[in-house]
Amino acid sequence: MIKYLLFPFLLFSCNTQVKDNLAPEIGKKYTYNTPSYFGDYLLPTNNIATEEGIELGRKLFYEPLLSADNSISCASCHIQSAAFSDPGKFSDGVNGKLGTRNSMSLANLLWQKKFFWDGRASSLEQQALMPIQHPDEMNQTLAQTVSKLQSSVVYSSLFKNAFGSEVITAENIAKAIAQFERTLISSNSKFDQFLRGEIQLSASEERGRQLFFTHPIAESGLRGGNCGDCHGGNLVGNGSFHNNGLDSIFSDLGVENQSKSIYDRGVFKAPSLRNIGFTAPYMHDGRFTTLEEVLNHYNGHLKQSQTLDPLMFVSNELGAKTLKLTENEKKDIIQFLNTLNDTIFVTNPKFSKP
Euclidean distance between CA atoms 75 and 72, whole angstroms: 8
Q: Same structural domain for residues 280 and 152?
A: no
- Residue 274 structural domain: 190-340
Structural domain includes residue 348: no
Given 185, 210, 226, which residue is the final one in a domain? 185
Q: Tell me which H or E stretch contains 241.
A: strand 241-242
CATH code, 119: 1.10.760.10
Give CA separation, 193 vs 12, 233, 340, in Å.
10, 15, 10
From first to last of its 354 residues, what are the pLDDT tens digits of the chain?
A: 333 333 333 333 344 333 333 444 588 999 999 999 999 999 999 999 999 999 999 999 999 999 999 999 999 999 999 999 999 999 999 988 899 999 999 999 999 999 999 999 999 999 999 999 999 999 999 999 999 999 999 999 999 999 999 999 999 999 999 999 999 999 999 999 999 999 999 999 999 999 999 999 999 999 999 999 999 999 999 999 999 999 999 999 999 999 999 999 999 999 999 999 999 999 999 999 999 999 999 998 999 999 999 999 999 999 888 899 999 999 999 999 999 999 999 999 999 999
- pTM score: 0.91
Euclidean distance between CA atoms 117 and 104, whole angstroms: 8
Q: Same structural domain for residues 226 and 301?
A: yes
Given the DSSP bridges, would you call strands 241-242 and 34-35 parallel, antiparallel or unpaired? unpaired
Q: Tell me which H or E stretch contains 35.
A: strand 34-35
DSSP per position, 123-159: SHHHHHHHHHH-TTTT---HHHHHHHHHHSTTHHHHH
Sign of the CA dihedral with 170 first, then 136, 271, and 216 last:
negative
Helices of type H across the chain: 51-61, 74-77, 124-133, 142-151, 155-163, 170-181, 190-195, 203-212, 256-259, 291-300, 327-337
Given 135, 168, 185, which residue is the final one in a domain? 185
